[in-house]
């Protein structure tokens, strides 16, 4: 993996995260495109480029744009996994259940660019680490598969010396299918639930941060947002894949719906990109 001296500047973050950090944050997005191919190789090396328009945080009324081009490495071993499913260790796998320990994350946004948070600390680049239980609910590759994911992860701010920001719980029900024509799509519905410490990061306004248009507010633990998502991809050639994704967040009924930082009930994040596989192993993956 590249050393920490290799950096990529990310608009909206307070300082450029390292390339290894970006790979972990993105959970190797190029690997999303390889799912459904049979057989999958043990490892792949390639690159991915994409543009994203992302809601700054659940409840924000402003978008943050990203444009990135990154290398990726996929490894599908029996225990060590670095693919679209996780970047970490797979502790258990049966036909119905799988338990892994891995990472996920999201990019931050500068408060100087977000009107609702102006004068407040920026939202840093957050990485989540912890266990996830996956439950196979049935189906076949031809007709599609249903799955329930139940992750519980600690959240750490890489823009602030990996300061612990709290815990997140994000159960998600998803349906995944690859068509005979080669299109792969997935849809999902889930909820993001945060403890008090993580909710503070997004929604607390201290008395010192209050203004004439932004009252003081103390965040509560509980539901942060409902989430609906969709992903679509197709192979243009054996090595080149196009993809697009959409996620809609709603803070309807959320624990901190009354925070002055919440200015919109529903917001969307969307993106388009290309993935290119440069090298792949002749050995098959360990399922």
The per-residue pLDDT for 107 is 72
What pLDDT does residue 38 have?
Answer: 58
Q: Is residue 156 part of a domain?
A: yes
Residue 1 covered by a domain: no
Q: What is the pLDDT of residue 142?
A: 67
Q: What is the pTM assigned to this prediction?
A: 0.81
- Per-residue confidence in pLDDT tens, the chain, 287 aa: 333 333 333 333 333 333 333 433 444 444 444 444 557 889 999 998 989 898 989 999 999 888 889 888 888 888 887 766 666 788 888 989 999 887 877 777 788 889 999 999 988 888 888 999 999 998 776 689 999 999 999 999 988 888 999 999 999 999 999 888 889 999 999 999 999 999 999 999 999 999 999 999 999 999 999 999 999 999 999 999 999 999 999 999 999 999 999 999 999 999 999 999 999 998 888 77
pLDDT given at position 248: 96
| Residue 225 belongs to a domain | yes
Asked whether residue 24 is assigned to any structural domain, the reply reads yes
Domain that holds residue 147: 19-280
- What CATH number should be reported for the domain holding residue 167? 2.40.230
Q: What does each C-alpha distance from 125 to 2, 12, 151, 169, 176 come to in angstroms? A: 19, 9, 19, 18, 29
pLDDT recorded at residue 106: 76
pLDDT (0 to 100) of residue 199: 97
Tokens for 224, please give them: 């942060």
pLDDT of residue 90: 84
Cα within 13 Å of Cα(241), Cβ side = 27
| Number of independent structural domains in the chain | 1
Quick one: pLDDT at residue 84? 61
- pLDDT for the residue 141: 63
Longest dimension (CA), the chain: 64
Whole-number pLDDT of residue 85: 61
Q: Tell me, yes or no, whether 7 lies in a domain.
A: no
In this structure, are residues 224 and 194 in contact, taking their beta carbons and an 8 Å threshold?
A: yes
Q: Residue 269's pLDDT is what?
A: 92
Residue 4 falls within a domain, yes or no? no
Q: What is the pLDDT of residue 232?
A: 94
> Does a structural domain hold residue 285?
no
59 φψ region: left (φ > 0), alpha (ψ -120 to 50), beta (else): left
Identify whether 11 is part of a domain: no
């Amino acid at each position: 993996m590249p050393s920490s001296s290799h950096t990529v500047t990310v608009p909206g973050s307070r300082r450029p995260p390292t390339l290894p950090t970006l790979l972990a944050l993105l959970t190797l997005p190029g690997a999303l495109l390889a799912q459904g191919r049979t057989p999958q190789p043990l490892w792949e090396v390639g690159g991915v480029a994409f543009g994203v328009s992302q809601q700054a945080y659940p409840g924000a009324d402003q978008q943050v744009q990203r444009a990135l081009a990154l290398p990726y490495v996929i490894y599908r071993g029996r225990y060590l996994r670095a693919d679209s499913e996780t970047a970490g260790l797979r502790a258990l796998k049966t036909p119905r259940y799988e338990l892994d320990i891995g990472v996920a994350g999201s990019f931050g946004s500068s408060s100087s660019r977000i009107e609702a948070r102006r004068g407040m600390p920026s939202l840093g680049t957050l990485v989540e680490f912890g266990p996830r239980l996956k439950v196979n609910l049935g189906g076949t590759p031809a007709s599609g598969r249903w799955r329930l994911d139940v992750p519980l992860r600690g959240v750490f701010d890489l823009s602030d010396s990996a300061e612990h920001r709290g815990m997140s719980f994000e159960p998600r029900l998803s349906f995944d299918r690859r068509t005979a024509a080669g299109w792969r799509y997935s849809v999902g519905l889930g909820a993001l639930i945060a403890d008090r410490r993580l909710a503070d990061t997004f929604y607390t306004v201290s008395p010192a941060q209050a203004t004439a248009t932004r009252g003081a507010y103390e965040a509560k633990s509980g539901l942060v947002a409902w989430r609906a998502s969709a992903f679509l991809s197709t192979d243009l050639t054996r090595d080149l894949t196009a993809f697009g994704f959409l996620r809609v967040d709603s803070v309807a009924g959320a624990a901190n719906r009354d925070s002055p930082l919440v200015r919109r009930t529903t917001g969307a994040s969307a993106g388009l990109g290309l993935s290119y596989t440069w090298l792949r192993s002749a050995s098959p993956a360990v399922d």
